[in-house]
Amino acid sequence: MTRKPNSGRCVHCLQFFDHITWDHVMPNSWYPEGIRNIEKWNVPSCRRCNEELGEIEERLLTTLGLCLDPLDENSSGIPDKVLRSVNELMGKDIRDISARRKKRELVLSNISILTDLPKQGLLPNFGPISDFNYNFYPVMYVEDADIKRFAEKVVRGIAYISNHSYIDIDYEIEHYVVDEIKMKKYISDLIQYGEIFKRESAFIVRRLLAEDDKVGGLYFIEIWGRFKFFVSVIPKSKFGSLSFL
């Protein structure tokens, strides 16, 4: 771990602080088993942003983690970790037991049983398994606002670790959770011309910057080989004149 900075600018809210912390671009708890000792991506963050993002990441981990394949090496140990976190029998003390129980109740309240899946709204790569017969569909809901905030965090983090750049208020950040087939051309361009940032196969970020721009462009983010989304970072003067879909 790099030495904690005493003061500096927060990558997320862009404000300056006398006391600042390090934030993991990819949450430490999201790393699969077997690659935990790899060097983490760290960026300067104020305590408030760090804590708020931590809560969002915990919600996303709980929801997405329960929908991952426990045998997939890209997400090895993640589903088991989430299940342990809601198992009150594994609580260390009364307070921990109570917290696990409340988290379990919250998770269960977020699950709906459907007989038919909606035609829209399914997160790509998290739909039914092909060639498998379902009598019913357990469905978990994820807040788009959480995905948006997490997407912004990742691209801000990548901008910083690549050349210590900040994505300032002159840029518009938009996320797109869509099927890769619809973005095939852009993925091809990202692979051929873009930069790649990765932590083995668990976290992969591809970035294709606009000409003469240190942060603006298209980002394609892959987590655990399942959670995939695009992020565009465009100067506000040009936003609205471009479309990726």
* Residue range 16-53, pLDDT digits in tens: 999 999 999 999 999 998 776 688 899 999 999 999 99
Phi and psi dihedrals of 94, rounded to 5?
-60, -40
Residue type, 150: F
Q: Residue 36: what pLDDT?
A: 63
Q: Quick one: pLDDT at residue 132?
A: 82
Please report the pLDDT score of residue 207 as a whole number. 96
Greater confidence (91 vs 239) lies with 91
Mean residue pLDDT of the chain comes to 91
Q: Supply the pLDDT for residue 123.
A: 92
Segment 167-192 mean pLDDT:
91
How many other C-beta atoms lie within 10 A of the C-beta of residue 164? Answer: 11
Quick one: 140 exposed, middle or buried, by C-beta within 10 A (0-12, 13-18, 19+)? middle
**pLDDT, tens digit, for every residue of 73-116?**
999 999 999 999 999 999 999 999 999 999 999 999 999 999 99
**Which residue type sits at 232?**
S
**Weakest-pLDDT range from 17-21, 58-62, 205-209, 240-244:** 240-244
Contact 192, 175 (CB under 8 A): no
The yes-or-no verdict on residue 244 having pLDDT over 60 is: no
H or E, element range at 213: none
> Which residues does residue 137 pair with via DSSP β-bridges, in sequence order?
114
Q: Using an 8 Å Cβ cutoff, are 137 and 121 in contact? A: no
Q: In the prediction, which pLDDT does 39 show?
A: 85
